[in-house]
Amino acid sequence: MPPAAPAYRRLSVEERRSQLLDAALELFAHRTPEDVSLDDVAEAAGVSRPLVYRYFPGGKQQLYEAALRSAAEELQHCFDEPRDGPLLPRLSRALDRYLTFVDEHDTGFSALLQGGSVVETSRTTAIVDGVRRAAAEHILSHLEVTDPGLHLRMTVRMWITAVEAASLIWLDEGKQPPVEELRDWLVDQFAAVLSVTANRDPQTAALAEKLAADG
Amino acid sequence: MPPAAPAYRRLSVEERRSQLLDAALELFAHRTPEDVSLDDVAEAAGVSRPLVYRYFPGGKQQLYEAALRSAAEELQHCFDEPRDGPLLPRLSRALDRYLTFVDEHDTGFSALLQGGSVVETSRTTAIVDGVRRAAAEHILSHLEVTDPGLHLRMTVRMWITAVEAASLIWLDEGKQPPVEELRDWLVDQFAAVLSVTANRDPQTAALAEKLAADG
């Protein structure tokens, strides 16, 4: 009999890197960064610790940041939504995907946004801020606003922050209320805060009218 | 002529400690933590660098955390408000004090809440979370709720987060809009998000009615 094939086939550099990243992301999604070791990543990927170091010489910190970058990209895809049909249902569908992402990365999401983690640096903060900025830009572009004034920008950013806060509490509370209810509640809040701002700002008032008309 | 008196009088240990803390807090309020050195603190307090180290052997990190603890205490006093009269004006007065605090600690407030700073640790995060928790408790106690349900807790925490986001943007935008307008806008938002939650939760619905009746 010929000898058994090696336990893993030879992967290309890119394949190997992406396999390690996937393993890391899976671990960082469901544990705090403190609870993930390089040995865990090596074991999950079925490779040796030195191999992980060959691809990520910066060790856990570098792996964490690479995994975070990859998660941030995935999260930004949640915001992709065709520009057709009424506006609030579009927001609702994007929120649905966002909350599914939160659900699937629960512990990692909490650890990251609660702050104070050893892996937090100005780079990880910049990645998170990039996602927030992308979310705001998506919303404003669906609203077809190219030159948002201060009131509108503040309203959108405040709502995005409130969504983050809601996600963290939702995770804290054992994912209650049910995700569909949370989603609808957050969409209603969006409409409500936009109405409040409309009382102080003509640009927002025009949008609030549009929103009321297109439902 | 007798020789000139020494440039500084002998302070007690407590007085000296508090003088150093005051100097540190003043510096950390208007610069990022990265831009404050122990030499700056020594100079501002008119003492030598070794003396600062004698009181704060942990150096800048320890001074930062002590200053943060003292700022957090000051901030919590902003929430003190007599339990008389209509509810929204009480919230408005507390917000006024909060925004004055933000104004007077601008750079330090931004650096702290934006995250990613070298001085950020799980301890500094815990201090900030303590302030948030205190804010939520004050609001619920003014609303005379002793056993807040999930919806109400989430609504209050989301609004508090939105206030923080608004404060950061306000600082970013050169303290625009004027603070009185920002304050009134945030109070209006509180009433609006409470109304939205009232549609889904009887406990909040009772409060929203009370709020509408007491204006």
**pLDDT tens column, A155-194:** 999 999 999 999 999 999 999 999 999 999 999 999 999 9
Q: Output the six-digit token pair for B13.
A: 């240990």
Pick the residue of B61, B128, B161, B175 with the most A CBs within 10 A to test the interface with A by mutation.
B161
Q: How far apart are CA B102 and CA B110, in angstroms?
A: 9
The pLDDT of residue B6 is above 60: no
Considering chain B, what percentage of its residues have pLDDT values greater than 70? 95
On whether the CB atoms of residues A195 and B192 are closer than 8 A, the answer is yes
Residue whose C-alpha is closest to residue B72's, from B118, B35, B28, B33: B28
Report the Cα–Cα distance between both ends of chain A, in Å, rounded. Answer: 71
What confidence score (pLDDT) does residue B2 get?
Answer: 53
Smallest CA–CA distance, residue B115 to chain A, in Å, is: 6
Mark yes or no for CB contact B192/A195 under 8 Å: yes
Could you tell me the pLDDT band of residue A7, with boundaries at 50, 70 and 90?
low
Is B84 in a helix, a strand, or coil?
coil
B-chain CB neighbours of A159 within 8 Å are 162
**pLDDT, tens digit (0-9, with 9 covering 90-100), for B104-158:** 999 999 988 887 777 888 899 999 999 999 999 999 999 999 999 999 999 999 9
What confidence score (pLDDT) does residue B115 get?
Answer: 77
Q: Which residue has the tokens 């109304």?
A: B195
Could you tell me the pLDDT band of residue B9, with boundaries at 50, 70 and 90?
low
Q: How many CB atoms within 10 Å of residue A20?
A: 24
- Give the ipTM: 0.89
Q: Structure pTM?
A: 0.91
The 3-class secondary structure across B25-81, one letter per residue, is HHHHHHCCHHHCCHHHHHHHHCCCHHHHHHHCCCHHHHHHHHHHHHHHHHHHHHCCC
Average pLDDT, integer, range A102-126: 88
Give start-end residues of each CATH 1.10.10.60 domain in chain B. Answer: 13-66
A-chain CB neighbours of B170 within 8 Å are 154
Q: Output the six-digit token pair for A209.
A: 């009218």
Total residues found in chain A within this entry: 215
Instruction: State the average pLDDT for chain A.
Output: 92
Q: How far apart are CA B181 and CA B179, in angstroms?
A: 5
Instruction: State the average pLDDT for chain B.
Output: 92
* H/E stretch holding A88: helix A87-104
Question: For the domain A78-214, what is the CATH code?
Answer: 1.10.357.10
Q: At what angle do helices A150-172 and A202-214 cross, to 10 degrees?
A: 60
What confidence score (pLDDT) does residue B215 get?
Answer: 63
The pLDDT of residue A214 is above 90: no
Chain A nearest-CA residue for B165: A158
Q: In a 10 Å sphere around its CB, with 0-12 CB exposed, 13-18 middle and 19+ buried, how is residue A50 labelled? A: exposed
Compute the C-alpha angle B17/B21/B26, nearest 5°. 155
The pLDDT of residue B167 is above 90: yes
**pLDDT, tens digit (0-9, with 9 covering 90-100), for A24-79:** 999 999 999 999 999 999 999 999 999 999 999 999 999 999 999 999 999 999 99
A150, A162, A188 ranked by CB distance to B161: nearest: A162
The pLDDT of residue B194 is above 80: yes
Average pLDDT, integer, range B76-94: 95
User: Following DSSP, what letter does each residue of A99-122 receive, concatenated?
Assistant: HHHHHHTHHHHHHHHH---TT--H
Q: How far apart are CA B181 and CA A119, in angstroms?
A: 39
A-chain CB neighbours of B165 within 8 Å are 157-158, 160-162
Q: Name the DSSP letter for residue B119.
A: T
Domain A13-66 class in CATH:
mainly alpha
Give start-end residues of each CATH 1.10.357.10 domain in chain A. Answer: 78-214
